[in-house]
Every structure is written in C-alpha cells, then in structure tokens.
Amino acid sequence: MSSATRRTATQWGVYDVDVVDGRIASVRGIDLDPDPSPIGDTLVDGVHSLRIERPAVRQGWLDGGPDRARDRRGADSFVEVDWDVALRLAADEIDRVRTERGNEAIYGGSYGWASAGRFHHAQSQLHRFMNVIGGCTRSVGSYSTAAAQTILPHVVEQWYRMELEQTTWSEIADGGELVVSFGGLPVRNSQVSYGGITRHEVGDGIRRAHDRGVRFVTIGPQRSDTPGYTDHRWIPIRPGTDVALMLAVAHVLGTEGLVDRAFLDRCTVGYERFEPYVRGESDGIPKTPEWAAAITGVPADVITGLARDMARHRTLLNASWALQRAHHGEQPYWMLVVLACMLGDVGTTGGGFGFGHCNEGHIGSDGRRFGWAALPQGTSPITSIIPVARIADMLLSPNQPFDFDGHRLTYPEIDLVYWAGGNPFHHHQDLNRLVAAWQRPSTVIVHEPWWTPIARFADIVFPATTAQERIDVCMSSHDPYAHVMEQVVEPPADARSDHAIFAGIAERLGLGDAFTEGRDERAWMEHMWERSAERARADGFDLPSFDDFWAAGRYELPPAAEQRAAWLVDFRDDPAAHPLDTPSGRIEIFSDTIASFGYDDCPGHPVWLEPYERLGGALADRFPLHLVSHQPATRLHSQLDHSEFSRRHKIDDREVVRIHPDAAAERGIADGATVRLFNDRGACLAAARLDPDLAPDVLALPTGAWYAPAEPGVVGSLELGGNPNVLTRDVGTSSLAQGPSAHTCLVEIEPFSGEAPSPNAYEPPPFR
Ligand SMILES: Nc1nc2c(c(=O)[nH]1)N[C@H]1C(S)=C(S)[C@@H](COP(=O)(O)OP(=O)(O)OC[C@H]3O[C@@H](n4cnc5c(=O)[nH]c(N)nc54)[C@H](O)[C@@H]3O)O[C@H]1N2
Ligand SMILES: Nc1nc2c(c(=O)[nH]1)N[C@H]1C(S)=C(S)[C@@H](COP(=O)(O)OP(=O)(O)OC[C@H]3O[C@@H](n4cnc5c(=O)[nH]c(N)nc54)[C@H](O)[C@@H]3O)O[C@H]1N2
Ligand SMILES: [Mo]
C-alpha cells in the first residue's frame, strides 16, 4: 500500500488530500480555513468515477450522411477513437467551418466555472486557442450577474469594481445597525468563490455583527436563506415582486418626511423625475403600501413599519444576485440603490447598499485583493458577440436582430459550437428549447473529464484531466493567498489537459508554436507569475521568485499599506472631487442614457414592471406555485453530481424539492414522495420534503441535478432527476441586459403515481 498527502485547490476551498494506492481516500480542509466546506468530499470518489476514458465521436456524426443525424445528439452512441484521429477530425472540421463560413460561425463562448487553477482554466485556454486560429463569436456577461453588470455601470460604477469594493462584514459590525437583505444571507452559497477561496469567514463575520447588536431582516421566500443565529426577522414575499415593496417604502419615506434630501441633492441626479412616479403623478398609481401589499403579499403595515425602521437606523440594504436573475431583474437592483440614497446612508461605515453578501465567499470579506495575471489570451479580430444567456436564441434565430444595452446587434449563423469547462445542460433555461436549438449546428466539440450531460450532447468529446491530475497555480483576485496545486493522482491513461488538447489541434492547423509559444505548462505558470510580479511592484510590494513560491507551496499577500476606507466614503464627502464614472459623476436615479435607448422594458428610472409570470398574476390560476431554483448546498452547480456525497443528499437519485406542508397536504403529497413538477415548458420528477419555513406557495428545488431525460434527445421528454431548468423560461431580463431570468417561474406539482424510472444520468452513454 502506498500513501501520500497532497494539496489541491477548488472553488469551494483548499484541501489536503490523502491518496492511498493512487486513489483519493479522504479530504481535509487546510489549517488556515476556519470553516472548510464539506463539498470537498465530492472529490473522494467523484474524481475517479464515470470518467471519459478515451476520445469519442458520436456515431451519427462519424458516419456522415444527411446532416449527420443532428437530431440524434444527446441520444446517439459513441465510437472511441485514438487521439490522432480525434485531433485530426477536430482540426479539419474547424478548418472547414472557418474557411467556408468564416470564424464568426464558430461559437466559443463556452460559459462555465470549470475548475480553480489559473493556468489550466478551460475558458482561458479555449479563448487563447480561438484567438490564435482567427477568432470566434464570444459571449459577454455571466449567468450570475448579467443584469447587475449591465445596469449598475449606468447608475453607480463598474460591476467588477463594486463587487470587490463593497461594504465588508467588519464595517457592518463596526458601524451598522440594520441589515435588510432581499433574498437573505444564504451562507451556504459562501462556501464557493470563483477562482478559489482559502478562508471561509462569512459565517463568522455575520456572527460578529450580530453580537455587536446589528439587527437582520430577511425579505424573501425562504426563512432558511439566512442562518438562524442572526435572530433575523423573516418577511415572506412573493418572488419577483421586491420592486413593488421597495417603491412602497419610498412612498412612506416621502409622505412621512423621512427622505435625506441633502444626500440626494449632493450625490445623485434625477430624483425629481422619479418622485412623481412614486406619488402616482406620472402614471396615476400612487405606490402606497396598500398598492404594494396586493402585489407582494406583504401586509401594508409591515411595509410602513419597515420604512420607519430603516429611516431611524443606519441601514445596509442588500440584494441577493438571485433577484436580478429574473424577468426585469435590472429593476430591483436599480431601485435598491435609489432607496439607499433616499435613506442617505450610502458611503457610511456599515450602511448603504450591497449586492450578493453571502452569495460567494469573498463578498464582504476583509482580505487584500490583487489582480494576478491571467493566461495571455491574445485578441480576436471577430467582433460578433451575444449576451451569454441568449445562446438558444442565437442558434434558433440566425441573422435576426436583437437589442442589448443600447445596441442593435444581429445573431450570427453558428455552424460549430466548442465547449470546455461549462455545462449548458445545467446552466441554461428551458432545456427543451436548448435541445431543439442544439440540433442546429453541424458540429459540437466538448472537453470534459466526466460523462456529464454536455459531453453526451457532443459530436467530438475529448477526455480532459481534472484539476487533481495536473499541477497548477491557484491565484484568485478575490483571495489574499496564492497556492501551488499539486498533482494529487495520476490521470486516466488517455486523458489530457485542456491546454494539451488545444496544443494538439493547433499543431494540426500549423499553429502549434503560436499557441504554446514554446512553453510547457510549468513555464507558462512561471511566466504568469513574472507578469504578476510586475503588477505587484506597481502596487508597492514584491512577490517571491516563482521557485521560492513553488517550494513554499503558498504565498500570502502583504497587508495593504493603508486601512481601506468604507466604500463610497470619499464620494459621499465630496462628489465633485471623487466623481463616479457615470455620465453625471453621481448616482443616477434617472439615467438619460438608459432613457435614450427607448426600451419599454427598462425606462429611464426604476419602475415596477409585471414579470411574464408571478404569484397573483394571470398564469397562477393554472400554475399556482413559484419555483425557486437556488444554488445547491451540496456541490458547485452540476459539478461532481455523480459523486457519492452529492447523491447522499438526494432520494433515489432524485433531487429534493422542498414544499410547504399546507401545499403538500392540499395535493396529497407525503414527505419523501416522488413528485412531478410541470408547466407548459416541461416536467421533471423530484423527491418531496416538507418544509414549514417556505412561503406557502413557493417550491425550492436546487440547481445542478444532471439532466436525465426519459427519452434522450427528445424535446419535451420527462426529466427524471429533478433538473429545474426543464421548467424555467428562456427569456432575457430585458432589452438592456438580456440576462437569464431563471428565478421567474410558475409550476404545479403532483404526486407521481406509477413506476418512476430511475434517472439515467450517472452512466456512460452507449458505445458502438
Ligand atoms: N435554474 C437556474 N439555473 C441556473 C442558475 C439558477 O440560479 N437557476 N444559476 C446560474 C449561474 S449563476 C451559473 S454561474 C451557472 C453555472 O453553470 P456552469 O458553470 O456551466 O456549471 P458547472 O456545473 O460548474 O459546469 C462546469 C463544467 O466543467 C466541467 N469541468 C470541471 N473541471 C474541468 C476541467 O478542468 N476541464 C474541462 N474541460 N471541464 C471541466 C465540469 O465537469 C462541469 O461539467 O448556472 C446558471 N443556471
Ligand atoms: N454551495 C454553493 N454555493 C454557490 C454556488 C453553488 O453552486 N453551490 N454557486 C455560486 C454562484 S455561481 C452564484 S452566481 C451565487 C448565486 O447566489 P444567489 O444568486 O444569491 O443564489 P441563489 O441560491 O440562486 O438565491 C438565493 C436566494 O434568493 C431567494 N430568492 C429567489 N428569488 C427571489 C426573489 O424574487 N425575491 C427575493 N426576495 N428572494 C428571492 C431564494 O430563496 C434563494 O434561496 O452562488 C454561488 N455560491
Ligand atoms: Mo453564478
């Protein structure tokens, strides 16, 4: 028996991994981490099982023939081929498409989280490769925060800055009094941070604030979104109606003389064009608490009381990212900023507005940030882009125009889709629509370590190594530490890193040197370290040599020279001397820029707009429950869903949907029963769990169960494993951001009678 302990980094923490006889035996959080995430356990069996052993080509594609049996995608059997054949097929197909159709016909958006590790970052590798071969159609924005990323630069400042600069838990503990969070403070989500996380500190930060007397209010469909140790007050609300509540709070502030006029005058523009809307002078509807009560289900006196409480105490208004992953998701974010300005606490210690506290582990943390160098990706001569969540629209509507943030763009005609490090059959909405859209391109090429749904929906599949099977460097711009990622175990004999796969294709296109620049993987990491060292010098500190870093295994950034000032404090003190990068230099309550776009679904100031469906709306007669498809507590998205750890939290391999006991009783649904969730877009099976801490007409089904259609490749097939995205709708948030709107979703649920087929997702596909 041989054993060893090696260090790995993941997007849910850094771990010491015990390896016995070449396999991962156990996983422990490192000494630095006060609260390691149990998601680490997904690695134990997950790394080794259900691997793609060899390059594989879909039967119908390989046979050629009319349209290469595109409708068999996702259902077909695969043929294993050797590396040389697979690389040649991929290179020839890429060359055919770029020659016959132009590089624009290749879609390399390839959204997804892939793995931690800065060099073997699948998307960076793919984008570098695409730029070397002449570019491709790309995507902009994220599924996480598309609406925020688009609206907030018009209103406050660039998202990438504010995500990192916003109020910290220490500041809330020091100066805050009241935290009102729409969508709660889901500490379960802070297990995760993009690019990696060393210390899980959010839970502790909230505890400290609570111990110092900060009060917490959760407005949302689930009490459990905020941990019980905050003693928070829970105000249930109909999902998707938060803007109406915020407007009514604004109305109360206005009528009771509680608006901070001095702050509005000094630091904002456009209040005078917004106020008549709140009063009802511009549209005949005063946004009173009674008006909002009818929409939100929150009693009018609760709204009035909340407004007074906010006005009397220094308040941080926070909104989970989930709120903007919804139809008209731009509005709650804009309105939250406006409300915070009316309260006047913006730029104070522990007050103002925040976005996504607890949604990832780094939001609101104290650690120093540093912009580590990424893999150089070159530039693309191709300008064709889509907002990331418009992929099915693009595939289904080539050459059609669409709106995006003031631009009128056209969907390109895509003939080849290339994906590495993401799973659209996890992340995209209305999967039945995606299955149909997926039949449009001639070819789909995918890199994956496992036989995930996206791998099954490919024509050419390359077996990728996992992060535990290669060396790498974890250097996240969110985290004060950098880590050496050791190779923990040997990869399967035929797996290669994403980098090696692209190098192989590039070589066959005569571009091998352009892609690798003659460096091997370690030389690339050293190169990225050197470039980071230059940035560090500009920031006033020195990095150790790469060899010293490698020998030490980790590096901690020095503490910042000066203590950070509360976010926007300079701006608050003197907005003329410290202007924001909005057109006016101030916070824009009315935006002339946005108004000039002329969008009905995103006018010049925040407004209440009916979402395409909601509780209390027309469709609720047929589908009377709102489905919240939140992030899973027991994994990262769909990653390693086949692992024992992820499956332990399911029932018969079906994801658990939580339902209020009253809603369950009305429908004859018992705890643990197999249920069918459905609407006009699709249907899935899940296992019911009764939960009194939900709003009565809300269901909560986490994302990430591997898509398991009863009839693979068939549009509208019953999904067996509890993937909520067969139920969600694929419509942009608005013409402005075109973000995903997954959280706007009505369904019905019923007991599933009869023999429930077991989900077929955790098996390899058929092979010839
Ligand atoms: N209904 C609903 N849907 C949602 C959301 C929601 O709230 N509700 N949230 C959305 C959000 S915010 C997000 S960010 C997306 C997340 O969507 P994704 O980021 O696409 O989800 P992941 O499961 O992380 O997909 C990563 C894939 O990369 C693979 N992988 C891991 N390591 C490697 C590697 O080294 N190389 C390669 N080639 N592949 C690798 C994994 O096996 C996995 O299949 O989902 C979105 N979808
Ligand atoms: N463990 C774990 N953590 C994760 C991830 C993961 O996969 N696993 N994914 C990470 C990623 S990529 C992202 S983007 C973040 C996402 O972070 P969020 O967007 O905040 O995550 P969600 O879990 O979708 O939503 C949080 C809560 O918002 C509430 N909510 C939904 N709709 C509404 C609404 O209309 N109004 C109100 N008031 N509340 C509403 C729901 O009750 C839900 O539980 O999480 C990150 N953290
Ligand atoms: Mo996300």
pLDDT digits (tens, 9 = 90+) for 313-341: 999 999 999 999 999 999 999 999 999 99
The finding on whether 426 has its CB within 6 A of some atom of ligand 1 is: yes
Spot the catalytic one: 111, 291, 418, 762. Answer: 111
Spot the catalytic one: 113, 234, 418, 419. Answer: 113
The finding on whether 113 has its CB within 6 A of some atom of ligand 1 is: yes
Whether residue 721 lies inside any domain: the answer is yes
Q: Which amino acid is at 214?
A: V
Q: Does residue 489 surpass a pLDDT of 90?
A: yes
Whether residue 760 lies inside any domain: the answer is no
The finding on whether 143 has its CB within 6 A of some atom of ligand 1 is: yes
Give the integer Cα–Cα distance in Å for 545 and 533: 9
Ligand 1, atom 33: closest residue by C-alpha: 114
Helix axes 300-312, 289-296, angle to 10 degrees: 120
Give the integer Cα–Cα distance in Å for 463 and 764: 13
- Which pTM was predicted? 0.98
What does the pLDDT average to over 191-206? 96
Q: Report the CATH number at residue 551.
A: 3.40.50.740
- The CA 360 to ligand 3 mean position distance, Å, reads 9
Q: Does residue 66 surpass a pLDDT of 90?
A: no
Ligand 1, atom 47: closest residue by C-alpha: 427
What is the number of structural domains in the chain?
Answer: 4
Q: Does residue 713 surpass a pLDDT of 90?
A: no
The finding on whether 317 has its CB within 6 A of some atom of ligand 2 is: no
Q: Report the CATH number at residue 160.
A: 3.40.228.10
pLDDT digits (tens, 9 = 90+) for 491-529: 999 999 999 999 999 999 999 999 999 999 999 999 999
pLDDT digits (tens, 9 = 90+) for 584-641: 999 999 999 999 999 999 999 999 999 999 999 999 999 999 999 999 999 999 999 9
The finding on whether 636 has its CB within 6 A of some atom of ligand 2 is: yes
Going from the C-alpha of 727 to that of each of 196, 393, 717, 747, 748, the distances in angstroms are 31, 17, 12, 7, 10
Residues 201 and 63 in one domain: no
What pLDDT band is residue 36 in, cutting at 50, 70 and 90?
A: very high
Q: Does residue 15 surpass a pLDDT of 90?
A: yes
What pLDDT band is residue 564 in, cutting at 50, 70 and 90?
A: confident
* Residue range of the domain that includes 736: 618-751
Residues 252 and 355 in one domain: yes
Active site residue 113: yes
The finding on whether 240 has its CB within 6 A of some atom of ligand 2 is: yes
The finding on whether 448 has its CB within 6 A of some atom of ligand 1 is: yes
Residues 277 and 344 in one domain: yes
What does the pLDDT average to over 211-216? 98
If one counts every other C-beta atom within 10 angstroms of the C-beta of residue 544, the result is 13
Record the tokens describing residue 566, joined without a space.
């509360």
Residues 28 and 61 in one domain: no
Whether residue 682 lies inside any domain: the answer is yes
Whether residue 608 lies inside any domain: the answer is no
Whether residue 317 lies inside any domain: the answer is yes
Give the integer Cα–Cα distance in Å for 745 and 332: 17
Residues 207 and 267 in one domain: yes
Q: Which of 194, 429, 448 to mutate to test the pocket of ligand 1 (most atoms within 8 A of CB)?
A: 448
The finding on whether 345 has its CB within 6 A of some atom of ligand 2 is: no
Residues 413 and 545 in one domain: yes
pLDDT at 407: 98
Q: Which amino acid is at 91?
A: A
Q: Which amino acid is at 400?
A: Q
pLDDT at 159: 95
Per DSSP, the three-state class of 474 is strand
Ligand 3 being an ion, which residues bring their Cβ within 5 A of it? 144
Give the integer Cα–Cα distance in Å for 234 and 729: 28
Residues 229 and 105 in one domain: no
Give the integer Cα–Cα distance in Å for 498 and 475: 19
Q: Does residue 347 surpass a pLDDT of 90?
A: yes
Ligand approaching nearest to the C-alpha of 424: 1
pLDDT at 366: 87
Whether residue 642 lies inside any domain: the answer is yes
- The CA 41 to ligand 3 mean position distance, Å, reads 21
What does the pLDDT average to over 548-571? 93
What pLDDT band is residue 246 in, cutting at 50, 70 and 90?
A: very high
Burial of 541 (0-12, 13-18, 19+ CB in 10 A): middle
Ligand approaching nearest to the C-alpha of 163: 2
What would you measure as the largest C-alpha separation in the chain, in angstroms? 79
Active site residue 111: yes
What integer best gives the mean pLDDT of the chain? Answer: 97
Cα of 454 vs its chain's centroid, Å: 17
Q: Report the CATH number at residue 728.
A: 2.40.40.20
Residues 550 and 574 in one domain: no
Whether residue 270 lies inside any domain: the answer is yes
If one counts every other C-beta atom within 10 angstroms of the C-beta of residue 648, the result is 9
Contacts for 96 with CB less than 8 Å, ≥ 6 apart: none
Residues 349 and 429 in one domain: no
Ligand approaching nearest to the C-alpha of 188: 2
Residues 82 and 136 in one domain: yes
Residues 180 and 303 in one domain: yes
pLDDT at 565: 86
What pLDDT band is residue 1 in, cutting at 50, 70 and 90?
A: confident
pLDDT digits (tens, 9 = 90+) for 394-414: 999 999 999 999 999 999 999
- The CA 503 to ligand 1 mean position distance, Å, reads 24
Record the tokens describing residue 523, joined without a space.
């030389």
Give the integer Cα–Cα distance in Å for 575 and 462: 54
Whether residue 763 lies inside any domain: the answer is no
- State the closest ligand 1 atom to the C-alpha of 641, by its place in the atom list counted from 1: 23
Q: Which of 144, 189, 655 to mutate to test the pocket of ligand 2 (most atoms within 8 A of CB)?
A: 189
- State the closest ligand 2 atom to the C-alpha of 698, by its place in the atom list counted from 1: 42
Residues 292 and 230 in one domain: yes
Is the dihedral angle over the CA atoms 413, 415, 419, 425 positive or is it negative?
A: positive
Give the integer Cα–Cα distance in Å for 359 and 672: 29
The finding on whether 703 has its CB within 6 A of some atom of ligand 1 is: yes
- The CA 322 to ligand 2 mean position distance, Å, reads 5
* Total residues belonging to the chain: 768
- State the closest ligand 1 atom to the C-alpha of 631, by its place in the atom list counted from 1: 7
Phi, psi (deg, nearest 5) at residue 458:
-100, 165
